[in-house]
Structure 1
Amino acid sequence: MRVLHIISSPRHDGASVTIASALIDALRERHPDIDVDTLDVWREELPEFDERVIAAKYKWVDQEPLDAVESRAWAKIDDLARRFREADRIVLGVPMWNWSIPYKLKQLIDLAAQRNLLFTYDGVHFGPAVDVARADVVFVRGQYYGEDGPTPGSVFDHQVAFVEFFLRTIGVHDVRSLIVDRTWDPAAEEAIADGVARARRLAAAD
């Protein structure tokens, strides 16, 4: 089984990395031959999606030749998308930043999610371009976003729905989310330990 492990936190001792890594470890116990491709958005050389890359995108769509700079940038985009396509399973840890996702994760999505690389579009309908059986997503937030609290998720949470929508749209058949709140509270250590335990159970659930 080939697993794409996406790290989106710059803090490798942070809650999202700790919990997602526990999930990976539990998968290794069940599947000793697991092949993990780690994509750390903070260490990966992600090209800027600037005017030059946008020009390359439209040249590629129109099947026009790319110059050397455009070719290098587009080759990297194609490689990022390939790593999604080759995965049997995706494990993704996502800390909440300003009620949404880290900007480097958004950059990865904006680069890799290209028509005919991760999704299709016929002018009317969007469709998947990958075939991934499952994704396990660890969503970590500093405080509580329940509907009975002062920051209800229906208003403040722009993290979970976007990531789940992205994964399902590109072709992940089964998206399972593990939400860990209160990682800034005095009880953060307990919350993270509970998240690790739930992550191990999630890895074992078929």
Structure 2
Amino acid sequence: MRLLNVVSSPRGEKSASIAVASAFIAAYGNTVNSVEVDTLNVWEEDLPEFDSDTIGAKYKGVSKDPLDSSELSAWLRIESLVARFREADRIVIGVPMWNFGYPYKLKQLIDLVSQRNKLFTFDGKAYGPMLKIPRALVIHVRGQSDDTVTSIGNPGFKYQADYLAFWLKFIGVEDVKSLVIEHTWDARAPETIERGKAEAIALASAF
């Protein structure tokens, strides 16, 4: 069993999302015979920029034109990241909320690996997933909650989770579980983080 653990917080031991994900992974390791954890930390990984070389390689791949050396170097780095998703049997992603979204490095990773004929297909009419992963867990950590938001028309925070669930299903994850831990900036933080760990551990047996 190979579990891809995507870390999107740069806070290390101070990170609530890392703490909850670690509790889940430890518990999951006790439920199966053998788990190989591949940790992809977007802050420590040498992610290529999605610059002119990278996007040039993308479009040349579509048109089947030869890549120059810079484009080839960027594309090989993308393929190495894609391989880690394709080799995974399960996925865990810890996601702190940043400015009502997610860390930009996580979006960079998504932009890099979401390539046609790598993680999805497109025949000109319809998209299709290329992965066959039964389950993923996304741990959403938020400093506050949306239950106190009263402004008219505010959509709340659910859209953040909806996007990541959509993307995971788009590339081929059948069942996406979401675990939300809120109030991690105030006096309730120690209690909510411990409760989040307990909820994560409870999810491990059916993962």
Question: Shorter-chain TM-score: what band?
Answer: over 0.9
Letter in 2 for 1:72: S
Provide the rounded CA distance (Å) in 1 between the counterparts of 2:73 and 2:201: 39
Provide the rounded CA distance (Å) in 1 between the counterparts of 2:73 and 2:34: 33
Name the residue aligned to 2:180. 179
Name the residue aligned to 2:143. 142
Name the residue aligned to 1:70. 71
**Alignment partner of 1:92 is 2:117:** no
Provide the rounded CA distance (Å) in 2 between the counterparts of 1:102 and 1:5: 16
Name the residue aligned to 2:162. 161
Q: Which 5+ residue runs of structure 2 have no aligned equivalent?
A: none
**Alignment partner of 1:190 is 2:191:** yes
Q: Which 5+ residue runs of structure 1 have no aligned equivalent?
A: none
The more displaced of 55-64 and 89-98 is: 55-64
Deviations 1:68-101 (A, max 9, x none): 1111110111111111111100011000011111
What aligned pairs does 1:40-51 form with structure 2 within 5 A after superposition? Answer: 40-51=41-52
**Alignment partner of 1:9 is 2:6:** no
Letter in 1 for 2:81: L
CA contact (8 A) 1:144 1:151 kept: no
In structure 1, the residue corresponding to 2:64 is in which secondary structure? coil
Provide the rounded CA distance (Å) in 2 between the counterparts of 1:95 and 1:76: 26
Deviations 1:54-73 (A, max 9, x none): 11111111121111111111
Name the residue aligned to 1:199. 200
Provide the rounded CA distance (Å) in 2 between the counterparts of 1:159 and 1:183: 17
Provide the rounded CA distance (Å) in 1 between the counterparts of 2:64 and 2:194: 51
Provide the rounded CA distance (Å) in 2 between the counterparts of 1:126 and 1:43: 32
TM-fit CA distance, 1:151? 5.9
Q: Note the aligned Cα RMSD (angstroms).
A: 1.5
Name the residue aligned to 1:81. 82
Identity across matched positions, percent: 52
Query: How many residue pairs align between the two structures?
Result: 204
In structure 2, the residue corresponding to 1:124 is in which secondary structure? coil
The more displaced of 78-87 and 190-199 is: 78-87
Give the TM-score, by structure 2 length: 0.94
